[in-house]
Chain A
Amino acid sequence: MSKLNKVRVAMPCQDPLVRITNYDEVALGYSHADALAEAGRCLQCKKPGCVAGCPVEVPIGRFIGALVADNLEEAHRIIKSTNSLPAICGRVCPQENQCEGKCILNAKGNPVAIGRLERYVADYFLGKPGAAGAGGTVCKPKDPEAKVACIGGGPASITVAGYLAARGVKVTVFEALHEIGGVLVYGIPEFRLPKAAVVQKELANLAACGVEFKTNWVGGKTVSIQNLFRNGYKAVFVGVGAGLPKFFEVPGENLNGVLSANEYLTRLNLGRGYDFPNYDTPAFTGRKVTVYGAGNVAMDAARSALRTGAEKVSIVYRRTKAEMPARKEEMEHAEEEGVVFEELAAPLEFVGDAAGQVKEVKLQVMRLGEPDASGRRSPEPEAGVVRTLETDLAVIALGTQANRVLLEATPELALNKRGYIEVGENNETSIPDVFAGGDIVTGAATVIKAMGAGRVAAKAIAERLGVAEI
């Protein structure tokens, strides 16, 4: 390798002023030349840190090596050997904390843009189920009796389905909503993860591989775990997510115009409310929008508000920008688009007008104290210092808790102290042959962690069914 370029190849993006007027994808993806140039920065380490940083252990150096040799099919085959949804992961993984965070080049400059390269390779093969390495060769069930059910249609279940279908197992995915994908569909906005162009194409690959998708089936309501075994399923994977939104429990939180990020985003994304009234689901819109929290969901909500007519959008956070947990790229994009960061502030009360519509929020001013258990400096109130902010739409993105619907219907499923499903080795639950993974085990985490958990469970199920070898 010649002289090391310390700077990664920039991701071409829609101009901020243009993109806030549409709902199209912001990051446009590398060109062929961009990809080859960026791949060339990889040092092909003997002991790569990046792979250890990846929850599904993509053989990163090998796929980048194939890319350097301009062998896209081989690169794709290598990625697909451990990651069934690379076009999605390339877009939504927090790479800076995972693969890229462990890249040796961090010591000299930018790490290799692994996520962007993964996306480039995956996008090239999207919608080409017959293409080499696409995993789209029809996988005939080896044994029609060996059926597996996945409850919940998010990333964890999709991973289980992909892994097992590739080994000739008949998999049925039961999804409560009317569209498969979980958070990929109801949570992450179109401008960050296109639905028809990316998510549905990845899912079409699985359907082509024989996975059966059943929508409008609610685990614990329409379908119970006991019934699945009665109907001949040999194993069940539970990936129902952690859907129940948290609120602040401050006065005025039930005013009109104060809502959870889940409601705000579900109306916009699952309901395509950004295209109302062409689509029937009305979305909440505001002139002065405040978003509470500073994770990826908060960034998604803030950026959605800009695209649906807000004049001013503020992220209100009790710590400072340095402690914000969102993916770095999302924060940068939000800031470029004009989102304002209101640091060191926590809501005390939402105040409404006579019709019960929120009009302002009273904020407690905070300061940073000593580091807490997570190592982040904990916020403390500045006694008696309160300010107000005008807002006609307040979106609360504080995180979520375990959704109780399936758990209440399945009392024999052991839970941990936090109310999530307890799993042992191979992510098996207290009920034999019932596995669980994703947010319903860990609490709200990331797409890739859910996929990693699904993969562990899928491996164990495959071994139990005697189909571990592809």
Chain B
Amino acid sequence: MPSKIIAKKELIPGRTSLMLLDAPHIAATAKPGNFVILRVGEKGERFPLTIADLDEKKGTITIVFLVMGKSTAVLNAMREGESVFDLCGPLGKATRIHKIGTVVCVGGGTGVAAMHHIAKGHHLAGNHVVAAIGARSENLLLFRRELEAFCDEVLVATDDGSTGHKGLVTEVVEQRLAADKAVGEVVAVGPVPMMSAVVKTVKPFQVPVTVSLNSMMVDGIGMCGACRVSVGGETKFTCVDGPEFDGYLVNFAELQQRLAALKDKEKLSYDNYCKCGHHE
């Protein structure tokens, strides 16, 4: 069913936007870690986005997306007051949240938005939440202020040093873990290489790492297996067994490879859309 865009904010012009969608039935039952499946038009494809935040009273959910193909480009061209053609959710298993003391939540790229909802859940459960976020430059950092509003610590890294630590987000994670042995869990959400790097960084500290995977999906309800991922040598479906898994067990190389399975067709679709003059 269609879902109205209550508000839209371009976080990084032309690349990343935030939308508040009217979805009371989803806001009423969604939990941190859940995702939704969207379609942007009658001929649109189904694609997943993790829920970045929700407001049960107002009946809204927040999504944040990076323009990376036709569907996200069409979504980014939509304005407040228009409607997303189909919105389905909440899907996937919710984050396992319990009181464990200190939790370090790492976010990269648009993954910061998804991490935000998980961090909030840990905060509400009474955990000491350390957010660690990274980007190439200060103007590409997402959700810093939102995280600062409730996180106990917000650690920032930029490649160019325009703000925070100059270098990779894994470096600030490493420093934080070295400084405090009492960290109970690390959560990482972002591009596959970043999640894989976080797992490598955390391993010597023997702290559990939870990762939220961005596998390709079609139905999102366990029917097709497009989102297959190898976890500890077993095949799991990201949509119904995940999207969160034990980072130490995920085969990231396979995941990265599978994300490219349809790249030629995705490019063709996007190029056709851009050629039609839809995109600046």
User: Which residues in A have some Cβ–Cβ distance to B below 8 Å?
Assistant: 176-178, 186, 214-218, 221-223, 243-245, 247, 249, 253-254, 256-257, 259-260, 262-263, 266-267, 271-272, 276-282, 284, 355-356, 403-405
The reply to whether A266 and B218 form a contact with Cβ atoms under 8 Å apart is yes
Per DSSP, chain A at the interface is: loop
Specify which chain A residues have a CB less than 8 angstroms from the CB of B90 in the assembled complex: 221-222
Which residue from B91, B226, B257 sits with its C-beta under 8 Å from A218?
Answer: B91
Which chain A residues lie closer than 8 Å to B257 at the CB level?
256, 355-356
CB-CB under 8 A from A259, the residues of chain B are 224-226
Return chain B residues, CB-CB under 8 Å to A282: 45, 262, 265-266, 269
Tell which of B71, B86, B218 has the most Cβ of chain A within 10 Å. B218
Contacts of A260 in B (CB 8 A): 224-225
Closest to B25 in A: A222
Which residues on the B side are within 8 Å of A271 (C-beta)?
A: 45-46, 218
Q: Nearest CB to that of A223 among chain B residues?
A: B25
Give the Cβ gap from B76 to chain A, nearest Cβ, in Å: 15
Q: Mostly helix, strand, loop or mixed at chain B's interface?
A: mixed
CB-defined A-B contacts under 8 Å, sample of 29: A177-B88, A178-B86, A186-B219, A216-B87, A221-B29, A221-B91, A222-B90, A243-B223, A244-B222, A254-B230, A254-B254, A256-B257, A256-B258, A257-B261, A259-B224, A263-B224, A266-B218, A266-B219, A266-B223, A271-B218, A277-B269, A279-B43, A281-B218, A282-B262, A282-B269, A356-B258, A403-B221, A405-B221, A405-B240
Residue contact B225 to A247, C-beta cutoff 8 Å = yes
Q: Can you list the 4 inter-chain pairs with the closest CB atoms, starting with the nearest? A: A282-B265, A263-B224, A243-B223, A216-B88
Which chain A residues lie closer than 8 Å to B162 at the CB level?
A: none
- Is the C-beta of B63 less than 8 angstroms from some C-beta in chain A? no
**B123 CB-CB contact with A under 8 Å:** no
Binding site for A on B (CB under 8 A): 1, 25-26, 29, 39, 41, 43-46, 70-71, 86-91, 218-219, 221-226, 228, 230, 235, 237, 240, 254, 257-258, 260-262, 265-266, 268-269, 272
**Across-interface contacts of B91 in A (CB, < 8 A):** 218, 221
The verdict on A404 contacting B29 (CB below 8 Å), with A254-B235, A282-B262 known, is: no
Q: Are B29 and A222 in contact (CB under 8 A)?
A: yes
Given contacts A222-B26, A254-B235, A356-B257, contact A405 B71 (CB under 8 A): no
List 17 extra interface pairs beyond A214-B1, A244-B237, A279-B43, CB under 8 A: A177-B88, A177-B221, A216-B87, A218-B221, A221-B91, A223-B25, A243-B219, A243-B222, A244-B223, A254-B235, A260-B224, A266-B224, A276-B269, A277-B265, A281-B45, A281-B46, A405-B221
Task: Tell me the minimal C-beta distance from A373 to chain B in angstroms.
Answer: 28
> Would A176 and B88 count as touching, CB distance under 8 A?
yes
Contacts of B261 in A (CB 8 A): 256-257, 284
Please state if B88 and A222 are interface contacts (CB–CB under 8 Å): yes
Contacts of A281 in B (CB 8 A): 45-46, 218
Q: Report the Cα distance A221→B258, complex, angstroms.
A: 27
Query: Shortest CB–CB separation between residue A309 and chain B, in angstroms?
Result: 13
A249 in contact with B269 given A216-B86, A221-B91 (CB within 8 Å): no
A245 to B26, CA, bound (A): 27
Q: Are B29 and A280 in contact (CB-based, < 8 A)?
A: no
Q: Are B224 and A245 in contact (CB under 8 A)?
A: yes
- Min C-beta distance of A261 to chain B, whole Å: 9
Most buried by A among B230, B240, B260, B272: B240
Task: Let me know if A253 and B268 touch, CB within 8 A.
Answer: no
A244 contacts which chain B residues (CB < 8 A)? 222-223, 237
* Nearest CB on B from A398, distance (A): 11
| Distance between Cα atoms of A413 and B221 in the complex (Å) | 19
Contacts of A177 in B (CB 8 A): 88, 219, 221
- Contact partners of B260 in chain A: CB under 8 A: 256, 355-356
> B75: shortest Cβ distance to chain A, in Å?
12
Q: Is the CB of A263 within 8 A of B226?
A: yes
